[in-house]
Structure 1
Amino acid sequence: MLSPSIENAQAPEVPEFSSRALEFAAELARRYDISSLRPLLESCRNFARQDTLNVAIFGRFKAGKSSFLNCLIRRQLLPVGVIPVTSVITEIGYGPRERAWVQYAGGVTKEIAVDTIAEFVDENLNPENRKKVAVVRVELPSLEEFRAIRFVDTPGLESVLAHNTDVSRDWLPNVGLAIVAVGVDPPLSQRDIELIRELNLYTPKITLLLTKADLLDERGLSQVENYVRKQLNRYWNDAIPVYPYSIRPGFERLREQFENALRQEAVARSGQQRAAILNRKLDTLLAECSGYLSVALKSAEAADSERQQVRRKILGDRQGLEDSRLALRLIVRHVSTNLRTGYEKLLESREREIRARLLEEFEQRWPQWNSSFRLAVTSFEEWLTRAITIEMTRLSNQHRGDFLEPLHRAGRQLSQTLQDFRNRISERTMEALGVPLRTTEVDIEPEIPRSPDIRIGRLFDREWELISFLIPMPLVKGIVENHFRRRIADVVFKNLSRLASQWEQKINPALAAMEKEALGRLDDLVATLERLLASAGQQAPQIRQDLEEAARLRASLREAQALQPAAPQA
């Protein structure tokens, strides 16, 4: 649910040829039952309905994204810090009065005070997004000059908080104009290049913001800027403008330079920018349509006696498809089988440290407890229950990324296996029909589970209550103290094993869901190809006509793209 001012806005006017391209792609997906096109088709439809342009800021954690936005809107609205802070997508745009909304994962929306948004987007106040916030939206009257756009602050990438990286990557398909924030030290990494490549799938409008320019003198900044431009030009030929930036006093010229370019690109030409981004999405959509239709056409032109042979050449026999399915299952099975061992090995490395810390605290507390056996046992149990719970919770949070790593590894392996299957299909269609089928496998993103609730078992039996008054503490003080020391070691070992088990129980269902998704994608691709390869000869004229129309619409989209004015350089 959007904020009221957004909900009531009129849908933007889409150019006639873009609208035709969208309708035509939807018609092709329906008529030929190309189900794999539906996610991309829906993405294009959603973008066409938006009345504002999303200007999203991406980058590694501590790259200065939130600081940049605070500076741009002239207000300390977003939390900043020396550790990863932003954990939730935050959208900021113009509104006639100051307002803020929290939209929860379940769809419920709640209005909040603008100055309290940190309670929902700050990693320290909402760790691991336990409040289940989907997005926070803010409207400010002070942003009237930017009323055609909506700024989007995203969690930092590559921090130890894996869920933050996942949130940002999941949001990539929604991008309009992208700003990639990169600090001057280091100025550009391979991960930054990969991020820009990913963004380029969804938008042709990407700007690089070279933040923290105040860390360098003028000569050093010029060298870094030239280096970054050179690296970018290796891939994109001056298509990505670079702007040095600093929020510090004395760098007003750099800020003015960037803001002027932003006004020209995203505000004055917001309609043109939206059209260019939509056309990029539509061109990708029509290209995939054409690939599928080319396969259908070649099959339709083949003799009936050859069609089954072509199918076998492309898809292989039933055993080959079963082997592909088995490969996907084995990936998940291998990861799942090694979960417990891996977790126990990880936690074993922390056992001595935790035991030593608890023993040290026990030494400090023991003199306060040893006046009576009953007091000693009661106090020790209360303290150890609380202390071990704190230790296990801290350990679970510190190593959350390590616990989730097998899940992400399985996702990467499943996606790569499916992409390899698609590549083999493309090679076989080229051999059998003379046309490749170039389709890209969208990464399988796991549904990230919450950290487990730490459960501590009972530390003592209760029989001691019946006889505690009979035990003279002066006679057993040393025995009790040594017993408590051994008990601390036992409790640490037991609860480390329990924590490994709890995380295993969290990850296995997520792995099963990923396996189901991967198998579904493979079956869906096979079913789509089987339907297309079954195209009869009488369908060939219609398929040719559809391919010609798709080519004509793609040419129109590219022509419109070529007419777009180039982005101003700094």
Structure 2
Amino acid sequence: MGRLRDEVFCPLVEDPIRERKAVFTHKLRGLATACVDYLRIARQSAVRVTAERSKLRSAILDERVRGEVIDDELTLAAKRVSADFSKNLWPQFDDVIGPLQYRLAEELRVDMREWRGHLGRQTRHFEDWLRGKLTTELAKVTPSGAQLARQLLEEAEVRFRRIVDAFRDRLARNVTQALNLSLSPLAWTVHVPEVIAPDPALSKTVDTSWAMLWWAIPMPLFGWFFHWHFLGLVPWEVDKNVRRLFGGWCEAFENAVENLREQALTGVRVEIATLNEVLDRQSDEVPLIEDAIRCLEAGLAGACAP
């Protein structure tokens, strides 16, 4: 622990600018090393005749590293983690529905005894009451969705990273077998998106034609009927909004997973496109390629110097 404090934490606190510069230099060195590897592949390809270059491309970019194959692997992983999210989240939401329906109905039964005014006023009162209650109650359920979303997004990132790493391993192996050259690993930088839960949405509680006739309905005589109608709406609104919130969570999570999948697939496609590009180099480009290699190697030597 003392060594960790002295060698890692203390330098960060004492000289954060120097440490940020060191991190930047490390990343730049990794990128330059990868560029040198690609240029060496380009040089080896450029000295070959057209027929040999075609065979070389087929050997390096074989069926195992096709973008469509990696896309299928990423899609399957995304579907599995989304299914896990739905399967694990629904029981937590389902357990809420019955008790919440009963409790809100009992609270409404008591509160409605104090309501006064015409049908339009009492309808608005009920809608505001129910919206406030549902917003409060559903806010208590939301943290379970947020916690599970964070956990499974991390799992999705791990799964995607394994697929991308396996793709790069196969690609590097092909390069080594075809050209006896190495292909430096590149770090997959991922931005994990935020999952935002939806708000509850209430349907109309009274038919429009009835609402327009509020002035003609004597509530002292018929108020019991509409209060009974309001009570009957509570179970429906609770069930609908809990299910809608669950569906909103699933949709938001699937969108976040798809965002991660697209980031991974974009990295794969860029790498394949880059290799396609370097394998197209012609023999007259060899001097330029060698100059670029020397320049980068000199820069790397300078960066590594104490």
TM-score band (shorter)? 0.7 to 0.9
Superposed counterparts of 1:149-548, under 5 Å: 228-229=1-2, 232=4, 239-241=7-9, 262=14, 265=15, 276-302=22-48, 304-317=50-63, 320-335=66-81, 343-355=89-101, 357-359=103-105, 361-362=107-108, 364-369=110-115, 379-396=125-142, 399-403=145-149, 407=153, 409-461=155-207, 463=210, 465=214, 467=217, 469=219, 471=221, 486-548=232-294
Q: Kindly name which structure, 1 or 2, has the bigger radius of gyration based on alpha carbons.
A: 2
Contact kept, 8 Å, 1:381 with 1:459, in 2: the verdict is yes
Q: What is the CA deviation profile of residues 217-264 of structure 1, one whole-angstrom value per residue up to 9, with x for unaligned ones?
A: xxxxxxxxxxx236x49xxxx732559xxxxxxxxxxxxxx9xx82xx
SS in 1 for 2:305: helix
Contact kept, 8 Å, 2:138 with 2:242, in 1: the verdict is yes
Which residue pairs with 1:551 in the alignment? Answer: 297
Distance 1:558 1:239, change over 3 A: farther
Alpha-carbon separation, structure 2, partners of 1:492 and 1:273: 53
Which residue pairs with 1:143 in the alignment? Answer: none
SS in 2 for 1:548: helix
SS in 1 for 2:197: coil
The one-letter amino acid of 1:328's match is L
List alignment gaps of at least 5 residues for structure 1: 1-227, 244-257, 561-570
Task: Give me the TM-score of the superposition, normalised by structure 1.
Answer: 0.44
> C-alpha displacement at 1:467, in angstroms?
4.6
> C-alpha displacement at 1:315, in angstroms?
1.1
Distance 1:520 1:496, change over 3 A: same
Alpha-carbon separation, structure 1, partners of 2:40 and 2:171: 14
> C-alpha displacement at 1:529, in angstroms?
0.4
Q: Which has the higher strand share?
A: 1
Which structure is higher in RCO with an 8 Å CA cutoff and minimum separation 6?
2
The one-letter amino acid of 2:25's match is N
Distance 1:557 1:469, change over 3 A: closer
Which residue pairs with 1:10 in the alignment? Answer: none
> C-alpha displacement at 1:411, in angstroms?
4.1
Contact kept, 8 Å, 1:295 with 1:435, in 2: the verdict is yes
Alpha-carbon separation, structure 1, partners of 2:160 and 2:271: 15
Task: Give me the TM-score of the superposition, normalised by structure 2.
Answer: 0.76
Q: What is the CA deviation profile of residues 280-300 of structure 1, one whole-angstrom value per residue up to 9, with x for unaligned ones?
A: 333222212122223223333
The one-letter amino acid of 1:354's match is L
Alpha-carbon separation, structure 1, partners of 2:148 and 2:304: 45
Contact kept, 8 Å, 2:195 with 2:256, in 1: the verdict is yes
List alignment gaps of at least 5 residues for structure 2: none
SS in 1 for 2:188: coil
> C-alpha displacement at 1:302, in angstroms?
4.7
Q: How many residues are aligned here?
A: 301
Superposed counterparts of 1:120-159, under 5 Å: none
> C-alpha displacement at 1:340, in angstroms?
5.7
> C-alpha displacement at 1:427, in angstroms?
1.6
